[in-house]
Chains A and B, each alone.
Chain A
Amino acid sequence: EAGVAQSPRYKIIEKRQSVAFWCNPISGHATLYWYQQILGQGPKLLIQFQNNGVVDDSQLPKDRFSAERLKGVDSTLKIQPAKLEDSAVYLCASSLSSGTYNEQFFGPGTRLTVL
Protein backbone atom coordinates (compact mmCIF):
# COMPACT_ATOMS: atom_id res chain seq x y z
CA GLU A 1 0.00 0.00 0.00
CA ALA A 2 1.45 3.37 -1.01
CA GLY A 3 1.88 5.91 1.76
CA VAL A 4 1.06 9.59 1.89
CA ALA A 5 2.95 11.44 -0.83
CA GLN A 6 4.08 15.05 -0.55
CA SER A 7 5.98 17.37 -2.85
CA PRO A 8 8.25 19.15 -2.96
CA ARG A 9 10.42 17.80 -0.14
CA TYR A 10 12.33 21.06 0.24
CA LYS A 11 11.62 24.64 -0.77
CA ILE A 12 13.56 27.85 -0.25
CA ILE A 13 11.88 31.16 -1.05
CA GLU A 14 12.27 34.85 -0.31
CA LYS A 15 9.80 36.56 2.01
CA ARG A 16 6.72 37.92 0.26
CA GLN A 17 6.95 35.19 -2.41
CA SER A 18 4.29 32.54 -2.87
CA VAL A 19 4.63 28.79 -2.43
CA ALA A 20 2.41 25.75 -2.85
CA PHE A 21 2.63 22.27 -1.40
CA TRP A 22 0.92 19.16 -2.69
CA CYS A 23 -0.32 16.09 -0.85
CA ASN A 24 -1.77 12.80 -2.10
CA PRO A 25 -3.26 10.77 0.75
CA ILE A 26 -3.51 7.01 1.06
CA SER A 27 -6.16 5.69 -1.28
CA GLY A 28 -9.55 5.53 0.40
CA HIS A 29 -8.67 7.84 3.27
CA ALA A 30 -11.47 10.38 3.58
CA THR A 31 -9.81 12.61 6.16
CA LEU A 32 -6.80 14.74 5.29
CA TYR A 33 -4.82 16.98 7.63
CA TRP A 34 -2.24 19.70 7.06
CA TYR A 35 0.10 20.42 9.97
CA GLN A 36 2.81 23.04 10.52
CA GLN A 37 5.80 21.93 12.58
CA ILE A 38 8.19 24.64 13.66
CA LEU A 39 11.65 23.49 14.76
CA GLY A 40 11.56 22.15 18.31
CA GLN A 41 7.77 22.05 18.45
CA GLY A 42 5.12 19.43 17.91
CA PRO A 43 2.94 19.59 14.79
CA LYS A 44 0.11 22.15 14.86
CA LEU A 45 -3.06 21.49 12.90
CA LEU A 46 -3.68 24.04 10.15
CA ILE A 47 -6.67 22.51 8.39
CA GLN A 48 -8.63 19.26 8.35
CA PHE A 49 -10.70 18.02 5.41
CA GLN A 50 -13.37 15.34 5.31
CA ASN A 51 -13.58 14.39 1.63
CA ASN A 52 -13.72 17.81 -0.08
CA GLY A 53 -15.24 19.68 2.88
CA VAL A 54 -13.42 21.60 5.60
CA VAL A 55 -13.90 20.19 9.11
CA ASP A 56 -11.61 22.57 10.98
CA ASP A 57 -9.56 25.52 9.78
CA SER A 58 -9.62 27.51 13.01
CA GLN A 59 -5.81 27.73 13.22
CA LEU A 60 -5.19 28.51 9.56
CA PRO A 61 -3.91 32.10 9.06
CA LYS A 62 -6.45 32.83 6.39
CA ASP A 63 -4.94 36.15 5.39
CA ARG A 64 -2.02 34.32 3.81
CA PHE A 65 -2.72 30.57 3.88
CA SER A 66 -5.24 28.71 1.76
CA ALA A 67 -5.91 25.05 1.12
CA GLU A 68 -8.17 23.05 -1.12
CA ARG A 69 -9.16 19.46 -1.76
CA LEU A 70 -11.46 19.96 -4.70
CA LYS A 71 -12.09 16.34 -5.70
CA GLY A 72 -11.76 14.90 -2.22
CA VAL A 73 -8.49 13.18 -2.99
CA ASP A 74 -5.26 15.19 -3.28
CA SER A 75 -4.83 18.57 -1.65
CA THR A 76 -2.83 21.77 -2.09
CA LEU A 77 -1.70 24.17 0.63
CA LYS A 78 -0.64 27.65 -0.46
CA ILE A 79 1.11 30.51 1.31
CA GLN A 80 0.87 33.97 -0.25
CA PRO A 81 2.80 36.04 0.70
CA ALA A 82 5.29 34.11 2.83
CA LYS A 83 6.79 35.54 6.02
CA LEU A 84 9.99 34.59 7.81
CA GLU A 85 7.99 32.90 10.58
CA ASP A 86 6.46 30.49 8.06
CA SER A 87 9.74 28.58 7.95
CA ALA A 88 8.73 25.12 9.13
CA VAL A 89 8.04 21.57 8.02
CA TYR A 90 4.57 21.19 6.53
CA LEU A 91 3.18 17.73 7.15
CA CYS A 92 0.23 16.10 5.47
CA ALA A 93 -1.55 13.18 7.10
CA SER A 94 -4.57 11.08 6.22
CA SER A 95 -6.87 8.68 8.01
CA LEU A 96 -9.92 6.54 7.53
CA SER A 97 -13.00 8.00 9.17
CA SER A 98 -14.81 4.81 9.98
CA GLY A 99 -13.31 4.15 13.41
CA THR A 100 -13.67 5.99 16.67
CA TYR A 101 -9.98 6.74 17.17
CA ASN A 102 -8.39 6.98 13.81
CA GLU A 103 -4.70 6.39 13.27
CA GLN A 104 -3.15 9.11 11.15
CA PHE A 105 -0.57 8.25 8.50
CA PHE A 106 1.95 10.98 7.81
CA GLY A 107 3.77 11.98 4.68
CA PRO A 108 7.51 12.83 4.67
CA GLY A 109 6.81 16.56 4.94
CA THR A 110 7.94 19.63 3.03
CA ARG A 111 10.68 21.67 4.66
CA LEU A 112 10.11 25.37 3.87
CA THR A 113 12.79 27.97 4.43
CA VAL A 114 11.80 31.63 4.02
CA LEU A 115 14.74 34.01 3.65
Chain B
Amino acid sequence: KNEVEQSPQNLTAQEGEFITINCSYSVGISALHWLQQHPGGGIVSLFMLSSGKKKHGRLIATINIQEKHSSLHITASHPRDSAVYICAVGMGGGSNYKLTFGKGTLLTVNP
Protein backbone atom coordinates (compact mmCIF):
# COMPACT_ATOMS: atom_id res chain seq x y z
CA LYS B 1 0.00 0.00 0.00
CA ASN B 2 1.36 3.42 -0.94
CA GLU B 3 1.06 6.04 1.77
CA VAL B 4 0.87 9.67 0.68
CA GLU B 5 1.84 12.30 3.22
CA GLN B 6 1.31 16.00 2.71
CA SER B 7 2.65 18.93 4.69
CA PRO B 8 1.60 21.25 6.04
CA GLN B 9 -2.02 20.29 6.72
CA ASN B 10 -3.01 23.94 6.99
CA LEU B 11 -1.26 27.00 5.62
CA THR B 12 -2.16 30.68 5.98
CA ALA B 13 -0.36 33.27 3.89
CA GLN B 14 -0.55 36.92 3.03
CA GLU B 15 -1.28 37.96 -0.52
CA GLY B 16 1.90 38.01 -2.58
CA GLU B 17 3.78 35.40 -0.55
CA PHE B 18 5.55 32.40 -2.09
CA ILE B 19 3.81 29.16 -1.10
CA THR B 20 5.26 25.64 -0.92
CA ILE B 21 3.28 22.48 -0.26
CA ASN B 22 5.12 19.18 0.09
CA CYS B 23 4.16 15.59 -0.73
CA SER B 24 6.01 12.38 0.13
CA TYR B 25 5.10 8.85 -0.87
CA SER B 26 6.38 5.43 0.10
CA VAL B 27 6.61 3.17 -2.97
CA GLY B 28 7.27 3.42 -6.69
CA ILE B 29 4.70 5.24 -8.76
CA SER B 30 3.78 5.78 -12.40
CA ALA B 31 3.02 9.50 -12.02
CA LEU B 32 2.14 12.10 -9.42
CA HIS B 33 -0.83 14.44 -9.59
CA TRP B 34 -1.56 17.75 -7.95
CA LEU B 35 -5.22 18.71 -7.70
CA GLN B 36 -7.16 21.67 -6.38
CA GLN B 37 -10.44 21.42 -4.49
CA HIS B 38 -12.59 24.46 -3.81
CA PRO B 39 -15.35 24.60 -1.17
CA GLY B 40 -18.34 22.73 -2.56
CA GLY B 41 -16.32 19.70 -3.59
CA GLY B 42 -15.25 20.21 -7.20
CA ILE B 43 -11.76 18.87 -7.92
CA VAL B 44 -9.62 20.19 -10.74
CA SER B 45 -6.40 18.63 -11.98
CA LEU B 46 -3.45 21.03 -11.88
CA PHE B 47 -0.47 18.88 -12.86
CA MET B 48 0.44 15.33 -13.75
CA LEU B 49 4.17 14.63 -13.74
CA SER B 50 6.51 11.66 -13.69
CA SER B 51 9.83 13.54 -13.65
CA GLY B 52 11.36 16.99 -13.41
CA LYS B 53 9.31 20.13 -13.26
CA LYS B 54 6.17 21.65 -14.79
CA LYS B 55 4.97 25.25 -14.76
CA HIS B 56 1.56 26.73 -15.45
CA GLY B 57 1.13 30.41 -14.79
CA ARG B 58 2.03 31.06 -11.15
CA LEU B 59 2.04 27.36 -10.27
CA ILE B 60 5.13 25.17 -10.38
CA ALA B 61 5.30 21.45 -9.57
CA THR B 62 8.49 19.48 -9.09
CA ILE B 63 9.17 15.84 -8.41
CA ASN B 64 12.26 13.94 -7.20
CA ILE B 65 11.70 10.29 -8.03
CA GLN B 66 14.74 9.06 -6.07
CA GLU B 67 13.63 10.84 -2.90
CA LYS B 68 9.93 10.05 -3.49
CA HIS B 69 9.03 13.68 -2.95
CA SER B 70 7.13 16.38 -4.80
CA SER B 71 6.48 20.05 -4.15
CA LEU B 72 3.83 22.46 -5.38
CA HIS B 73 4.83 26.11 -5.41
CA ILE B 74 2.60 29.14 -5.87
CA THR B 75 4.32 32.41 -6.67
CA ALA B 76 2.73 35.77 -5.89
CA SER B 77 -0.17 34.12 -4.05
CA HIS B 78 -3.64 35.64 -4.30
CA PRO B 79 -6.81 35.19 -2.23
CA ARG B 80 -8.39 33.29 -5.15
CA ASP B 81 -5.70 30.61 -4.62
CA SER B 82 -7.41 29.72 -1.34
CA ALA B 83 -8.43 26.07 -1.66
CA VAL B 84 -7.44 22.56 -0.63
CA TYR B 85 -4.48 21.24 -2.61
CA ILE B 86 -4.31 17.47 -2.90
CA CYS B 87 -1.38 15.30 -3.90
CA ALA B 88 -2.22 11.95 -5.47
CA VAL B 89 0.07 9.18 -6.71
CA GLY B 90 -0.84 7.05 -9.68
CA MET B 91 0.04 3.41 -10.11
CA GLY B 92 -0.56 0.98 -12.93
CA GLY B 93 -1.48 2.11 -16.40
CA GLY B 94 -4.27 2.33 -18.96
CA SER B 95 -7.59 1.12 -17.62
CA ASN B 96 -5.85 -0.15 -14.47
CA TYR B 97 -4.47 3.26 -13.54
CA LYS B 98 -5.39 4.11 -9.95
CA LEU B 99 -4.84 7.12 -7.72
CA THR B 100 -4.07 7.16 -4.00
CA PHE B 101 -4.72 10.55 -2.45
CA GLY B 102 -3.14 12.50 0.37
CA LYS B 103 -5.34 14.25 2.92
CA GLY B 104 -4.85 17.64 1.34
CA THR B 105 -3.43 20.98 2.43
CA LEU B 106 -5.88 23.77 3.23
CA LEU B 107 -4.43 27.03 1.93
CA THR B 108 -5.87 30.36 2.99
CA VAL B 109 -4.45 33.50 1.36
CA ASN B 110 -5.45 36.70 3.10
CA PRO B 111 -5.61 40.04 1.28
Contacts and interface: CB of A to CB of B under 8 A. Distances in A.
Interface of A: 30-31, 37, 40-45, 48, 50, 55-56, 89, 91, 93, 95, 97-109, 111
Contacts of B95: 30-31, 50, 55, 97
A4 to B, nearest CB: 10
A97 B4 CA distance: 24
B94 A108 contact: no
A109 B41 contact: yes
Interface in B1-41: 4, 30-31, 33, 40-41
Interface in B44-59: 44-45, 48, 50
B96 interface: yes
A10 B48 CA distance: 30
Interface stretch (B61-69, B72-80, B99-107): B99-107
Contact of B99 (A40, A98, A104, A108): A104
Give the interface size class of chain B.
Answer: 20 to 34
Given A42-B102, A44-B101, A104-B99, A91 B93 contact: no
A101 B97 contact: yes
Contacts of B102: 42
Contact of B101 (A30, A43, A97): A43
B44 A56 contact: no
Given A40-B103, A42-B102, A95 B43 contact: no
B88 A56 contact: no
A93 B93 CA distance: 16
Nearest to B43: A106
B34 to A, nearest CB: 12
Nearest to B106: A40
Contact of A103 (B40, B48, B50, B104): B48
Given A42-B86, A108-B41, A101 B48 contact: yes
Contacts of A41: 103-104
A105 B41 contact: no
Contacts of B43: 43, 91, 93, 106
A106 B35 CA distance: 10
